[in-house]
Amino acid sequence: MLFNSFDFLFFLPTVFILYWFVCNRNLKYQNLLLLISSYIFYGYWDWRFLGLILLSTIVDYFVGLKIFNNAKKNTAKKWLILSIFFNLGLLGFFKYFNFFIDSWVDLMTGMGFPITYTWTLNIILPVGISFYTFQTMSYSLDIYNKKLKPTKDFFGFAAFVSFFPQLVAGPIERASNLLPQILHKRTFNYDQAIIGMRLILWGLFKKIVVADSLAPIVNDIFAHYDQYNGGILLLGAICFGFQIYGDFSGYSDIAIGVAKLFGIHLMTNFNFPYFSRNIGEFWRRWHISLSTWFRDYLYIPLGGSKVSIPIALRNVFIIFLVSGFWHGANWTFIAWGFYHAALFIPSFLNKKNRKYITTNTDHFFPDYKELINIITTFLLVTIGWVFFRADNISIAIDIIKKIILNFDFSIYHHPENRRMIDYIFAVSIMLTVEYILHKKHKIITYFNKYQYLRYSLYASLVFAIFIASSEHKDVSFIYFQF
């Protein structure tokens, strides 16, 4: 089920009413309701893959208990390895099997040993598999690292694994954050619910008005990259940058907002990444739940930065390459990870990667140096998006070559004959609002003070959503494929 569908418009209020008015007296009933709702939510896409979630849930539930109950570190480690093997095996089979076979065939053919018969399978990628397998792995890892005690409440644990707001596209929650909230009685919090509603509205705006509206432009430019000059290809890459941000951060906002309606707090996934002043800051603000997951469960166990420089560099490359590979079974994602590692290394070596930890809220408008840093970081990230979006690496390189060598300012016509100015307007609204929130400007207090001003803004957003949504109804989220 999509957040931006009519089905969800009926689904959410129904679950909300049942949750707070029918099941509110008993935590077990509330969790059971969450579990059933989550399975309905997921089953709407393809009920057959519910078996995978259930299997992953059962395995990690028992592994968690086994790890905790084994005093011997070695035995506990074996159980942990079982959990990791199972989850990565699931991911490997459904997501990477064909990629490995194809790459093997390409390698052998390249070495002069052509393979005519291949064993690729016609596998459907289960939606959200990369998200929930990582979430369940974090449970076993946290128990192993003594950060968490396992639960004996199977339904509570199953509700944690499949919690519908963040099941298919994150944020990837740590068991240590989400599970205790699931296992303890929730109380309705008015302020949190209002914040949740605002996040849902803003997320829908970013998804429908920005991301879905830009999709035809991006699809057209990337599909006909050979017919366009560098200027238009750069426009395509910039539009994709805003599309993927609107799509993914929009999803995260809606997920966090919906969770708040159920009294659950999910972690922040995006923190205004396009206002970052260097790549290090960008990665602290983009897909935070994934980057911190890799940091805590991969980078730090490998030694992090507190090792010799060559090992630290290796660790940086590993974390970026794995992060790229997590997104999909294609060399383009690995190249994207490599590209970001290459951008990150210089500031890492100069120890400037943690230069911008906090947002500068002293002044609203950036000074020229800050502005140049923001624009440079944005452009570098935008070039990286070409690898992310292109069908293969050679196309990505062709596009980047054209952007650099064949740059020209020319007019682009929308593939559906629509007015381009509308999209510039939509993106400008998104950036302005996010910039105000990013800088915590005092204008926010005016909105909090005057109800009708606030309501008018919300209603204008709803109107924009209605207008944009009638062009492209029920468009899926990009990150569902990861």
Partner 1 sequence: MKYFILKTLGFTIFLLLFLEIIIRILHFYNDVPLRMIDDYGNEKWVPFQEGYFYTGTKKETVSKYRINNFGFNSTLNYSFNHSDTTKIGLFGDSYIEGFNQDVDQSIGIKIMNKIPIICYEFGFSGYDFASIIHLIETNESKFKVLDRIYIYLNNSDFNRSTYTISNHQKERTNTLISTIYRNFKFLMFLNHNGYIKTIKEKFRFHSKNIDKPNYKIHNINQLINNSHIDWSKVIFIIDSSEIDSLIIQKLNSLAKVLDITNIFSKSKYKTNFGYDKHWNNHGRSLISDFIIRNENNYIQY
Alpha carbon distance 164, 185 (integer Å): 18
**Residue selected from 18, 20, 97, 398 as contacting partner 1 according to rule CB under 8 A:** 20
**Residue selected from 300, 422, 480, 481 as contacting partner 1 according to rule CB under 8 A:** 422
Whether the link from the prior residue into 171 is cis, omega within 30° of 0, is yes
Nearer to partner 1, 143 or 256 (CB): 256
Alpha carbon distance 228, 132 (integer Å): 40
**Residue selected from 414, 424, 437, 443 as contacting partner 1 according to rule CB under 8 A:** 414
Instruction: For the CB of residue 419, give the shortest distance to partner 1 in the complex, in Å.
Output: 7
**327 noted as active-site residue:** yes
Helix then strand count (H, E) for the chain reads 20, 0
- In this structure, what are the phi and psi dihedrals at residue 36, rounded to the nearest 5 degrees? -65, -45
Nearer to partner 1, 152 or 413 (CB): 413
**Residue selected from 78, 314, 418, 438 as contacting partner 1 according to rule CB under 8 A:** 418
Alpha carbon distance 269, 135 (integer Å): 14
Residue count, binding to partner 1 (CB under 8 A): 28
352 belongs to the binding site for partner 1 (CB under 8 A)? no
Nearer to partner 1, 308 or 451 (CB): 451
Inter-CA distances, 369 with 96, 348, 375, 388, 435, Å = 43, 20, 10, 29, 17
Q: Which helix (H) or strand (E) segment is 7 a member of?
A: helix 6-17
Instruction: For the CB of residue 9, give the shortest distance to partner 1 in the complex, in Å.
Output: 10
Q: Which of 327, 340, 413, 441 is catalytic?
A: 327
Nearer to partner 1, 380 or 467 (CB): 467
Binding to partner 1 (CB under 8 A) within 288-317 occurs at: none
Instruction: For the CB of residue 241, give the shortest distance to partner 1 in the complex, in Å.
Output: 23
Nearest in space to 167 (alpha carbons), one of 283, 39, 257, 274: 39
**Residue selected from 376, 432, 470, 479 as contacting partner 1 according to rule CB under 8 A:** 470
Ramachandran area for residue 131 (φ above 0: left; ψ -120 to 50: alpha; else beta): alpha
Encoded amino acid at 428, one letter:
S
- Near partner 1 by CB under 8 A, which window of 274-282, 321-329, 330-338, 450-458? 450-458
* Exposed e or buried b per residue across 174-191, where buried means at least 16 C-beta atoms within 10 angstroms of its C-beta: bbebbbebbeeebeeeee
Alpha helices, DSSP H, located in 270-355: 279-285, 288-294, 309-327, 331-349
**Residue selected from 227, 417, 442, 449 as contacting partner 1 according to rule CB under 8 A:** 417
- The binding track of 184-223 with respect to partner 1, each residue x by CB under 8 A or -, is ----x-x--xx--x--------------------------
Active site residues: 327
Chain residues in the site for partner 1 (CB under 8 A): 6-7, 20, 188, 190, 193-194, 197, 414-419, 422, 455-456, 458-460, 462-463, 466-468, 470-471, 473
